[in-house]
Structure 1
Amino acid sequence: MKIKHILSIAALALGLYACSDDYLDKEPLSEITAENFFNTEADLKLYTNSFYRMFPSTSIYDGDAITDNIIQNELSEEMRGARLVPTSGGGWDWAYLRDINFFLQEYEKSEEENAKAHYGGVARFFRAYFYFDKLQRFGAIPWYGEPIDPKDSETLTKPRDSRQFVVDKILEDLDWAIANMRAEQNVYEITKYTALALKSRVGLYEGTFEKYRGIEGYGKYLNASVAASEELINDSPYKLYSSGSPDDDYRNLFNSHDAIADEIILSRAYSETLNIGHNVNYYTTTSSYGRPGMPKDLVDSYLNADGSRFTDQANFDQIFFTEEVADRDPRLFQTIRTPGYTRKGEAIERAPNLGATVTGYQIIKYVTEPVYDTNGQSITDLPLLRFGETLLNHAEAKAELGTLTQEDLDKSINLLRARVDMPGLILDAANSDPDSFIADQYVGVVGANKGVILEIRRERRIELYMENFRWDDIVRWKAGETLTQPIRGLYFSGPGEYDLTGDGEINVVLYEGERPDNVITGIQYYQLESDTFLDNQGLITPHPDYENRTFDENKDYLYPIPRVELQLNPNLEQNPGWQ
């Protein structure tokens, strides 16, 4: 199924689907017309297969890499507050919408009713996906529900529709898809369950976006998320992947070559046979590309293995690495290199490579055997929608509505914790004693459910790490100030020799001045104030030149519309603050 799915889309890209134009008023297909196509199920499937190219390919973790979740050797424009208004491009691309609407205009001529219902749902799913992506990026946008006559200048230059109108249309498309698509478990193709998962995401996003900006009517979107989540939880074949090994299952879910269909609802497929790969291994293991690392504040957010807070102890930010990561939530050592780490397919224990990570906390999520370390050769399927996210959506939506119960937590958050043998989250306990460490990150959370909402946000950041959610979460929570907090990494007491694996062998030497003469092969040497910078507490400071970053609450939650688009459509208004 995986190879077949890739081949069908590749064939389309090689000629069956010729359009690459970006204008709304162009003919979408140069060789396919309503007269000679859209008759059979094969026709409908072939056409809609082209829409799968909308999904992220090699950059599925970009939503984390532009934020405080993945710190790289160069901070993103979003983190630096350095975005500019582009002349063109910038994500304002409408080609796929034109093609989707053309399909929806023509597909009804097919006489195969079952196929027509299913692929009509597939097209509406992708229209919802397309508009949700634009809504997250630009806010309110013009809604186009059908192909546009190139002579219809009034429609081509229409102003934005209201944000709520667009979201309602997105949910309308998803509801149609849910009611008409096939209820199949297919990790590489759109089904009813895929639409339910996206509806769960859309409802939560818009509900919280509006709630944290004081917009009335947000509850209907949170309720839409709850309804979709509950249907997936109660009436679908999906469950959390578990082999009964809490020390391995989370990691194995993401380093499996083929997506694990128990939990992954939809995945992007990769294949060594077809030489279709991505760059996760190269990205996380080499010293010449990105040097991504987890920040210390996220490491500190992981609970102790007994469910207590790591940050409740004195001087928690000055504990050496081997003690810092001991007896913590098992997802920590399944996400970054810690003592005892071995690569998939190997038995050699490896210390964190400070040359490959600017924070010292080296990421291992998605990483597989060393044979795939060449750039573009990783073949792990990358998840687009998974059941674990739906569980988180369900708990958060109900918490924000004020209807969350302990039973809700037990069938959502606590299933995720149980997979890694962590104690469950107790509603009353969380609300009676909110975590001040997490509260400082999200100052906008108030009310009776403050404690449990903070815990759900902790859980979401940990469970969905490196899955492209962090930027969107910060935007919908109106929590941009979190991006301006100090960025820190591993703790070192100063120059000296350090054992990062706990086996009694030195792995890292930090030195001042000249490099030591007696350099030993296999040991990492870094010069302080040149290769590595420490703050006055001994914490790695990856970007000492960017300590005073800013986030503009009036404009930075949205991206600017490119200048040329404002010239082409004088009825469009630039997003606030970008004029």
Structure 2
Amino acid sequence: MTMKRLYITLLSLSSLFFINCSDDYLDKNPISDVSEESFFLTASDLELYTNGFYLMLPNSTARNEIFTYDSQCGDIVHNTLSDLMIGARIVPATGGGWNWGNLRNINYFLENYERCEDEAAKNRFGGVARFFRAYYYFGMVVNFGDVPWYDTTMEADDEGLYKARDSRQFVVDKILEDLDWAINNMGDEQYAYEVSKFTALALKSRVALFEGTFEKYHGISGYEKYLEAAADASEELMDTGVYSIYSTGNPNLDYADLFRAETAQTTEVILAREYTEPLTNGHRANYYTLTGSQGRPGMPKSAVNSYLNSDGSRFTDQADFNAVSFADETVDRDPRLAQTIRTPGYSRVGEGTALPPDLSFSITGYHITKFVTSSNSDGINQNTNDLPVFRFAEVLLNFAEAKAELGTITQDDLDRSIGLLRNRVGMPGLSMDDSNADPDDYQAMIYPNVSGANQGLLLEIRRERRIELYMEGHRWNDIRRWKVGQSITLPLRGIYLPGAGEYDLDGNGSIDTVIYEGDAPADQIAGAKYFKLGADIHLSADNLIDPLPEFNTRSFNEDRDYLLPIPIQELQLNPNLTQNPNW
């Protein structure tokens, strides 16, 4: 069933037995509106019910969820900062992500779906339900750490509603059990927009890597088994041969085209969000990056600095890497940079006019283009290009990282994982020996707690992950599991502009940007954008755009901020719950 049909189905389904998400596991509309005696009997019934679970996946419509996940930790810079970035999070009275409605829907299904006599349908949709229970609980563990595990529906007099939190290891083990059930019982069918055994393998890879590295870097014993599970799940998916890295042999377009494709490229995309109808079922990737009302998103300079030169050497090895003009710093770099932000020669899809970065729409000057399609889709929710939720590239990165953290990685492992990502864009492969012989000081500044024999390699894998998965919602979870929260307090900077003057940002011989002091010039250059220094544009002491000078001093509480607080009301309702540390 396509996502478009799914939305239509949900309009009728929600009036029957789907509950509203709420803070309390019991705050529900009566599921008995549809009797289990007359439902859950056919494959269509099971499909109809489980279609509702897909609403749990991230989307990008009015709230820009997919695109703004990374803004909360500064990997996309907006003209306002998240509460996390400025240290303004508080313990909420209610809500705050402590919601259980989705879980009750899933458990209700699992208590009733075996009434269906269609064994194939039970295997498939039982796997879908367990996938989403795993997906739900993974989010809870990531946000709250220890949480109560519930695998049955409960009524008001059930004492289990008032249980204490189970350990994160117990819950993660249950998550992996659910995913193993799905992997072992679902068929080998491949779906673009529906959960399959391959999606379950990809989620297992993600969950196990998160938990293994979280426990390792947060000093929790027993992490090795999760890293091994991550490596094994990744390798199992790799060995199926079902997925590969999307490539047509064009290193200067293939990465960008993967995200601009109207229909998900299922050679690489394991699960996608389908968008089909502008306004009613479209997203706003174009509008997000091409209007000043969406926060003027921009890539930070720390991310730009992380892209290697096209020959595989490090851009930050030069002494003056923060004092290079935009036109010069974007030449001869990893081709993914030019396929993620506007660089010299950039033009819109289907158009030939070269466009410089526009500081009106990008607060750092590093103007994001990932997911941006033709100008026909520039309105609100006009984009209909599908958005990946799971893709094979992440699985390859998970595999390499898990093996490197375990100390069992080989050069062959790198060649068949990260080597494939670099090959798509014509970059040299990653050498294990060279990386470890000369760890990158710039990456070590971002990730100071990486050490050991594979320090250099782990730093390179983290570089690769940030670049390959940029703007896909992984960065904050990566920071949490690596315990590098202090990285979000580093200065936020943009392009180098040595004071007021006229600039040819794209290097085409024409002035496109003017920075002025005092009053705006009376005679203005046609086609150029004008910005007042100290008002429209602020510069740091080293002449980098300072997008938010009022927030240059920020803090991160290492003993508190990796987890969310449990809402006050929940602690009052259940005295067996305990608050997360230092909240």
Q: TM-score band (shorter)? A: over 0.9
Residue 573 (1) aligns with residue 578 (2): yes
Deviation at 1:366, TM superposition (A): 0.3
Residue 127 (1) aligns with residue 133 (2): yes
Residue 510 (1) aligns with residue 512 (2): no
Deviation at 1:547, TM superposition (A): 1.0
Write out per-residue CA displacement over residues 396-424 of structure 1, whole angstroms, 9 at most, x where no aligned residue.
00000000100000000010000000000
Counterpart of 1:378? Answer: 383
Counterpart of 2:422? Answer: 417
Residue 24 (1) aligns with residue 29 (2): no
Deviation at 1:151, TM superposition (A): 1.4
Deviation at 1:373, TM superposition (A): 1.4
Of 429, 432, 442, 1:437 maps to 442
Aligned mates of 2:582, 2:307 — CA distance in 1 = 36
Counterpart of 1:92? Answer: 98
Q: How does 1:5-16 map to 2 (within 5 A)?
A: 5-7=5-7, 9-12=9-12, 15-16=15-16
Aligned mates of 2:509, 2:67 — CA distance in 1 = 35
Residue 290 (1) aligns with residue 295 (2): yes
Q: How does 1:292-307 map to 2 (within 5 A)?
A: 292-307=297-312
Q: Which moved more, 1:458-467 or 1:343-352?
A: 343-352
Q: Which moved more, 1:374-383 or 1:508-517?
A: 374-383
Count of residues in Structure 1 that have an aligned counterpart in Structure 2 = 577
Of 114, 117, 120, 1:114 maps to 120
Matched position secondary structure for 1:378? coil
AA at the equivalent of 1:19: I
Counterpart of 1:173? Answer: 178
Matched position secondary structure for 1:214? coil
AA at the equivalent of 1:24: Y
AA at the equivalent of 2:494: G
Counterpart of 1:457? Answer: 462
Write out per-residue CA displacement over residues 87-128 of structure 1, whole angstroms, 9 at most, x where no aligned residue.
111111100100110111111111111111111111100000
Aligned mates of 1:461, 1:192 — CA distance in 2 = 27
Residue 388 (1) aligns with residue 390 (2): no
Of 57, 72, 76, 1:55 maps to 57
Aligned mates of 1:30, 1:509 — CA distance in 2 = 66
Matched position secondary structure for 2:322? helix
Q: Retained in 1: the 8 A contact 2:279–2:381?
A: no
Q: Retained in 2: the 8 A contact 1:28–1:98?
A: no
Write out per-residue CA displacement over residues 484-529 of structure 1, whole angstroms, 9 at most, x where no aligned residue.
0011100011111000121110000011111111023321101111
Q: Unpaired runs of 5+ in structure 2?
A: none
Write out per-residue CA displacement over residues 246-299 of structure 1, whole angstroms, 9 at most, x where no aligned residue.
000000000112111110000111112682112211111111221000001110
Matched position secondary structure for 2:31? coil
Matched position secondary structure for 1:169? helix
Matched position secondary structure for 2:502? strand
Q: Retained in 1: the 8 A contact 2:3–2:273?
A: no
Aligned mates of 1:446, 1:130 — CA distance in 2 = 33
Counterpart of 1:243? Answer: 248
Deviation at 1:27, TM superposition (A): 6.0
Q: Retained in 1: the 8 A contact 2:86–2:555?
A: yes
How does the TM-score come out when normalised to structure 1?
A: 0.98
Deviation at 1:149, TM superposition (A): 2.5
Matched position secondary structure for 2:212? helix
Q: Unpaired runs of 5+ in structure 1?
A: none
Of 201, 225, 240, 2:230 maps to 225
Aligned mates of 2:30, 2:250 — CA distance in 1 = 50
Q: Which moved more, 1:424-433 or 1:558-567?
A: 558-567
Aligned mates of 2:52, 2:30 — CA distance in 1 = 12
Identity %: 56
Aligned mates of 1:206, 1:546 — CA distance in 2 = 32
Write out per-residue CA displacement over residues 428-454 of structure 1, whole angstroms, 9 at most, x where no aligned residue.
110010000000100110000000000
AA at the equivalent of 2:56: M
Counterpart of 1:142? Answer: 148
Matched position secondary structure for 1:265? strand
Q: Retained in 1: the 8 A contact 2:278–2:384?
A: no
Q: Retained in 2: the 8 A contact 1:17–1:50?
A: no
> 1:28–1:116: structure 2 CA closer, same or farther, 3 Å change rule?
farther
Q: How does 1:139-538 map to 2 (within 5 A)?
A: 139-152=145-158, 154-272=159-277, 275-538=280-543
Write out per-residue CA displacement over residues 16-38 of structure 1, whole angstroms, 9 at most, x where no aligned residue.
54422534234662432211011
AA at the equivalent of 1:97: L
C-alpha root-mean-square deviation of aligned residues, in Å? 1.4
Aligned mates of 2:138, 2:226 — CA distance in 1 = 13
Aligned mates of 2:526, 2:35 — CA distance in 1 = 66
Q: How does 1:34-49 map to 2 (within 5 A)?
A: 34-49=36-51
Write out per-residue CA displacement over residues 435-477 of structure 1, whole angstroms, 9 at most, x where no aligned residue.
0000010011000000000000000000000000000000000
AA at the equivalent of 1:76: S
Aligned mates of 2:10, 2:511 — CA distance in 1 = 49
Matched position secondary structure for 1:292? coil
Q: Which moved more, 1:202-211 or 1:498-507?
A: 498-507
> 1:28–1:438: structure 2 CA closer, same or farther, 3 Å change rule?
farther
Deviation at 1:8, TM superposition (A): 5.5
Matched position secondary structure for 1:457? helix
Q: Retained in 2: the 8 A contact 1:18–1:30?
A: no
Aligned mates of 1:79, 1:143 — CA distance in 2 = 31
Aligned mates of 2:519, 2:552 — CA distance in 1 = 28
AA at the equivalent of 2:39: F
AA at the equivalent of 1:129: Y
Aligned mates of 1:239, 1:12 — CA distance in 2 = 38
Write out per-residue CA displacement over residues 292-345 of structure 1, whole angstroms, 9 at most, x where no aligned residue.
000011101100000000011120110000000000000000000011101112
AA at the equivalent of 2:311: D
Aligned mates of 1:270, 1:470 — CA distance in 2 = 24
Q: Retained in 2: the 8 A contact 1:51–1:126?
A: yes
Matched position secondary structure for 1:336? coil
Of 68, 75, 93, 2:74 maps to 68
Matched position secondary structure for 2:515? strand
Matched position secondary structure for 1:60? helix
Q: Retained in 2: the 8 A contact 1:28–1:99?
A: no
Q: Retained in 1: the 8 A contact 2:342–2:368?
A: yes
Aligned mates of 1:422, 1:44 — CA distance in 2 = 46
